[in-house]
Chains A and B, each alone.
Chain A
Amino acid sequence: MYRSHVLVCGGSGCTSAGAPKILEVLNKEIAKAGIKNEVSVVETGCHGLCDYGPIVVVYPGPTFYSKVRPEDIPEIVNEHLVNGQVVSRLVHNAEITDEGIKSINETDFYKKQYRIALRNCGIINPENIEEYIATGGYEALGRVLTQYTPEQVIQIIIDSGLRGRGGGGFPTGIKWKLARANDADQKYVCCNADEGDPGAFMDRSVLEGDPHVVLEAMTIAGYAIGASQGYIYIRAEYPLAIERLNKAIAQAREYGLLGKDIFGTGFNFDIELRLGAGAFVCGEETALMTSIEGNRGEPRPRPPFPAQKGLFQKPTLLNNVETYANIPQIILNGPEWFSSMGTEKSKGTKVFALGGKIRNTGLVEIPMGTTLREVVEDIGGGIPNNKKFKAAQTGGPSGGCIPASKYDIPIDYDNLVGIGSMMGSGGLIVMDEDNCMVDIAKFFLEFTVDESCGKCTPCRVGTKRLYEILDKITKGNGTMEDLDKLEELCVYIKENALCGLGQSAPNPVLSTLRYFRDEYIAHVKDKKCPAAVCKALLSYVIDPNACRGCTLCARSCPNNAISGKVKEAHVIDQDKCVKCGVCKEKCRFGAILIR
């Protein structure tokens, strides 16, 4: 028995911030203090508070240390672990109050969260199956195999109201029912772990922090639809998640929880990994299956749907990582428990990856129906540097930008679609007044153009044309007709593209046109970029009150665009200025402004 456990976050954010070094020093210092047999050091998955990594949590307590540096470790070991005194200067600052140190669960960041999919992340050692079992792991599988018929399992999932967490929000139970209904000698259960939405990393955190939950849920799904083989399609860019999944699969086989005759019930199920190779379109279900088959990951027309003819032409069930992560808890706690959370048509919780201009960057899991304001202001800690909230982008390249006027909308599938965005996989990027919305639309279109597979013309050619028009506008050459053309083309692409990627590609343009039309017009009519992002539309000017007439800028200008007398305010000739910014770099008085 250990008297204390020290949890070091081994998620990607903390690892990048130096967690491996922390682990190394911690083990060394604990050995040096002679308490190796009393204190256990555990590398866990993500705690969610990525902006404050590396994170170290000491139990009992828990005491939550953030931004820990290797040189802090001797103090934590000697003061906390040996002498029993919390090192208050390292305790995550939000939790210190007048009454002493507040529990981490009482802080604004965690208070409004409710963790189902992420319940084990940051708590257990993901590389040890026994820790998963100790928190109720594989109990749901045992119950399903010994007490329920496949039809009963499917009914539980239908009753829970769970909807797909990967994007579209299709009811999960119905999907299972459709896959069960088709008879075949072989069926497949697939897991979409090709998290390609830039700015979303919840699936990665689940796989890195709690890999067994996905294996357990896929096995349950296999039993429900009558499949004996599963595939996890995972991004090759996630080496840590791949390593942990491989370990988890090996352990599950060793414990008889994967493979032949699971729990002695005669049910067989096994799982293999397939690595993606960096193609966003492979997140689309038919493209993903084509890719597993070893081809270019191009989508195919539906019908036939994967439930009829999917992977290798056999009936196939495909869900994403976060969807699976909810399944065992729904089985254990019952569908009523799950459907008691959320809104009328969106039940349970959703994980969001908060990023961009927000204080607490990281992963949060909130009940459906939480407002955007609560997520950004309360959980996310608001916008840094006294800037104003301008928009939140959800749904990645398929979603849209939500303006401040919709700040109080409860987040669920249908509300987001209603305001021109979508849930997507759960990326939530906050933008402030320094972000140009035309530039953001262009950024997403550049992505879509790059990632379009090329199979259908509306997407291959249409997105390119959208990009060109946006590029023209950001360079100050747009016309008002271009705005109409943009809208017309968007509608055409939405109606005619083959797959979800193409159909949703215009969303970033449509939503910014809808809510930030003024900004487009400023680019077109006034030739100005209000956020001062689009380089071609910026002009450098000299503030006459700040200029001392030192002549340094005039001497530095490569194009002789600056004139003025010594000790008098200088002026930039806008026709000659090439916007290189040298004058701004050289000026010692901050007199050069960008407008």
Chain B
Amino acid sequence: MGVKHCTVPFAGTKEQHEKLLAVIAELKDQKGALMPIMQKAQEIYGYLPIEVQSIISNELNVPLEKIYGIATFYSQFALNPKGKYQISVCLGTACYVKGSGDILLKLKELLNISDGECTPDGKFSLDCCRCVGACGLAPVMMINGDVYGKITPDDVEEILAKYE
């Protein structure tokens, strides 16, 4: 799992900060609370930049490196902000044998980014995922929760155009 550098400056608001503190206060006495807190923090900010990790570290009195270690271990945690439209290509086996690898290639080519990255205008981010459980529709890609199934590389451009 490669860690990509974050080029977007952190722009957390006061409301977000207060929300996070409230979540921490609520959950911190639970056994194994760190992961649920990080998951909530990502819901609040949309991603987990080092600044947010530092807040959690200070509040819970847990070393920052432990939090960073967890944030980079699990693929759900994002250290970079996501695009306005989040594209996710299923690379589960059922989708792969039906050609989702070619869908991913086409997306990379059209958007000129790699998976795990976001276009410079912040519009599209591209990720791979492992099985969304819609194997009957393979190959599948999702954009912000909308599922597009049984697609070919030729369909991709048209689908993206819907989100211009």
Contact = CB atoms under 8 A, between A and B. Distances in A.
B134 interface: yes
B135 A291 contact: no
A294 interface: yes
Interface size class of A (residues with CB under 8 A): 35 or more
A205 B38 CA distance: 27
B140 interface: yes
Nearest to A13: B136
B76 A236 contact: yes
B84 interface: no
A453 B93 contact: no
10 contacts: A17-B134, A17-B136, A198-B131, A201-B135, A237-B129, A277-B38, A277-B39, A277-B77, A279-B75, A443-B93
A295 B75 contact: no
B69 interface: yes
B93 A198 contact: yes
B32 A297 contact: no
A375 to B, nearest CB: 15
B136 A51 contact: yes
Interface in B58-95: 66, 69-70, 73-77, 91-94
Interface of B: 1, 31-36, 38-39, 66, 69-70, 73-77, 91-94, 96-98, 129-138, 140, 147, 149
B147 A291 contact: no
Given A274-B35, A357-B97, A296 B69 contact: yes
A447 B75 CA distance: 13
Contacts, number: 129
Contacts of A362: 135-136
Lowest 10 CB-CB distances: which A-B pairs, in order?
A50-B136, A355-B94, A198-B92, A277-B74, A201-B133, A278-B75, A294-B34, A199-B93, A294-B32, A16-B147
A292 B69 CA distance: 15
B126 to A, nearest CB: 16
B115 to A, nearest CB: 11
Given A13-B135, A16-B147, A296 B73 contact: yes
B1 A450 contact: yes
A296 B132 CA distance: 23
Contact of A199 (B74, B77, B131): B131
A329 interface: no
B109 to A, nearest CB: 12
A356 B77 contact: no
Contacts of B39: 236, 275, 277
Contacts of B97: 355-357, 429, 431, 435, 440
Given A16-B137, A51-B136, A355-B94, 12 more contacts: A17-B136, A199-B93, A199-B131, A238-B133, A279-B73, A353-B135, A355-B93, A361-B94, A361-B135, A361-B138, A427-B93, A440-B97
B73 A237 contact: no
A165 interface: no
Nearest to A18: B147
A59 interface: no
Contacts of B137: 13, 16-17, 50
Interface of A: 12-13, 16-17, 50-53, 196-201, 204-205, 236-238, 274-280, 291-297, 312, 353, 355-357, 361-362, 393, 396, 427, 429, 431, 435, 440, 443-444, 447, 450, 453
Contacts of B133: 12-13, 201, 204-205, 238
Contacts of B138: 355-356, 361
Given A198-B91, A357-B97, A295 B149 contact: no
A11 B131 CA distance: 15
A90 to B, nearest CB: 18
Nearest to B72: A296
B119 to A, nearest CB: 23
B36 A16 contact: no
